[in-house]
Amino acid sequence: MRKSRNYLLFLLTFVLVIGTGATVFAAEVDPGTLNSENYGILTIIPPLVAIILAFITKNVVISLFVGTIAGCFMIQLVDNAFLPSILGSFLDFIQRVLNSLADPWNAGIILQVLAIGGVINLVAKMGGARAIAEALAKRAKTPRSAQMVTWFLGVLVFFDDYANSLIVGPIMKPVADKLRISRERLAFIIDATAAPIAGLAIISTWIGLEVGLINDSFTQIGMNVDAFGVFLQTIPYRFYNILILAFVVITSLMLRDFGPMRKAEIRARKGIKEPKAELENLTTEDEMQVKEGVKLSVWNAIIPIGTLIVSALASFYYSGYTAIMGGEDKALIELISNSPFSFNSIQQAFSAADASTALFQSAVLASIVAIVMAVAKKIFTVSEAVDVWVDGMKGLIITGVILLLAWSLSSVIKDLGTAKYLVTLLSDSIPMFLLPSIIFILGAVISFATGTAYGTMGILMPLAIPLANSISPDMGYIVMSTSAVLTGAIFGDHCSPISDTTILSSMGSGCDHIEHVKTQMWYALFVAGFTILFGYIPVGLNIPVYIVLPVAILVMTVAVRFIGKPVDNAD
């Protein structure tokens, strides 16, 4: 009997140990890796469903919801039967939405979107929007000059792509409407100067991630490099970023368009009302409507918007400063302590900043300044000003819903291992001169399917640098491949309908989201073609970049001249 008990005790202990070990082992295995092996090509179903439905239904909320539910169902189906998986997928979806909202970064983005909406509404009701529109209209007297002003403002707000979308759009929307520039064209210019600029800027909210990934990936192959120096070396090879900025200037100066964008521009020039903007927070009439008796003044816009921009820069620096000083990197702490306002210190502070919190802080401060101005000038009472501020948020609730759904879909895609499958599928047997082009295409596919440039960079960088080094240890070749990761991720993010930057650009310009994606995608693909054919392939064949880049811009200019058709004399 005792032996039997001992045997049972031993058996129970053995089972518990094995079970615990299995649990620990399972916890260490990335579910994305397992799911990518189980589902294979089926892992692309959720983003594919969302993207196809977006074009069919023209309703991004429904499309994102169905795509996310489909992904949740696939994840539940791994461990459950069919019917329980249906209920489990719904519960999983709810949990993912809650997790997305609970994330401090995501919450900060939604809150600053709402707060900036309140600031813009106050600026409009105080007459600032109309005054700015009339002042800019004096300089931007034609569609050509208005588009160039928009491009220039986009370049000025270089430090963050979200800030770009949320600041430039509301300022230029009334001007574009007055000069009969389509909302689609405005959204494209804003989107083309958001991530492409922030990804290139040496002081931005992007550079910390980019430099960190470069450093970690070189460490993997046993190379100790100046990661920031490598980043600087990639700038001439960031063909898509540079060419899309040049493309905006070329098409704006020539006033030539093609594809769906030309149709949108012709419609706008003829004064035909465009489709109702799903993400438009205010109608044009509401934006230009000023409280009766208010004297128009550009300062009613310059001071609140200026506060938003300046305080954002200050918040970025302070956020990074406190993060560095509270960290354990003694070299950085010494740098910040000895020369807090040197270029290197500012760059490091911006790299370490929490952009979400910084933007929300600046949006709240700008809101306070706008309310105080409205009360001090006796335009509103305190209660009226607060009501106007809150009213400006109402139309942006849909933006928050779409962002939450996009983030939830992103988490599903990660758990399914979609990106891992695509990397495995597309990264085999690469010729040396084609590697940068293939990395660019791979980054574009992953970023387009997942809607995130950050995530794509994080996936591809640790793979691309060791792969490039194994093919050729030449540093110039590795730099080309590194730039292809950064640029491909931005291209996919730029034209993906589930990208938060694309969503915010639609919202900021008051353009229907699907119309923005449809019109912009033709241009993004056009520039991506030049990026490969006249960018990465030539440099892969050892043609110097100082020859490749000017030639690419020149050939693209000639192509626009012959492919694009005039808009203003379309009749």
Residue 396: DSSP 8-state: T
- Return the structure tokens found at 192: 């083309």
Average pLDDT (267-275) is 75
Alpha-carbon span 416 to 31, nearest angstrom: 7
Average pLDDT (375-396) is 86
| Residue 286 or 241, more confident | 241
| Residue 445 or 132, more confident | 445
**Confidence class of residue 1 from pLDDT cuts 50, 70 and 90?**
very low
Residue pair 508/169 in contact (Cβ under 8 Å)? The answer is: yes
Nearest to 459 by CA among 446, 444, 478, 441: 446
- Residue 60 CA, chain-centre distance (Å), reads 17
Residue whose tokens read 């590697």: 435
List beta partners, residue 566.
256
Look at 137-151, 446-460, 545-559 and tell me which has the smallest mean pLDDT.
446-460
Residue pair 266/563 in contact (Cβ under 8 Å)? The answer is: no
Which of 238-252, 332-346, 347-361, 379-393: highest mean pLDDT? 238-252
Q: How buried is 292 (Cβ within 10 angstroms: 0-12 exposed, 13-18 middle, 19+ buried)?
A: exposed
Tens digits of residue pLDDT in 176-233 = 888 889 999 999 999 999 889 888 887 666 776 687 778 777 876 778 877 777 888 9
Output the pLDDT for position 204.
67
**Confidence class of residue 95 from pLDDT cuts 50, 70 and 90?**
very high
- Return the structure tokens found at 227: 């990661």
Output the pLDDT for position 27.
40
- State the pTM of this model: 0.69
Output the pLDDT for position 427.
56
Tens digits of residue pLDDT in 232-268 = 899 999 999 999 999 999 999 999 999 999 999 999 8
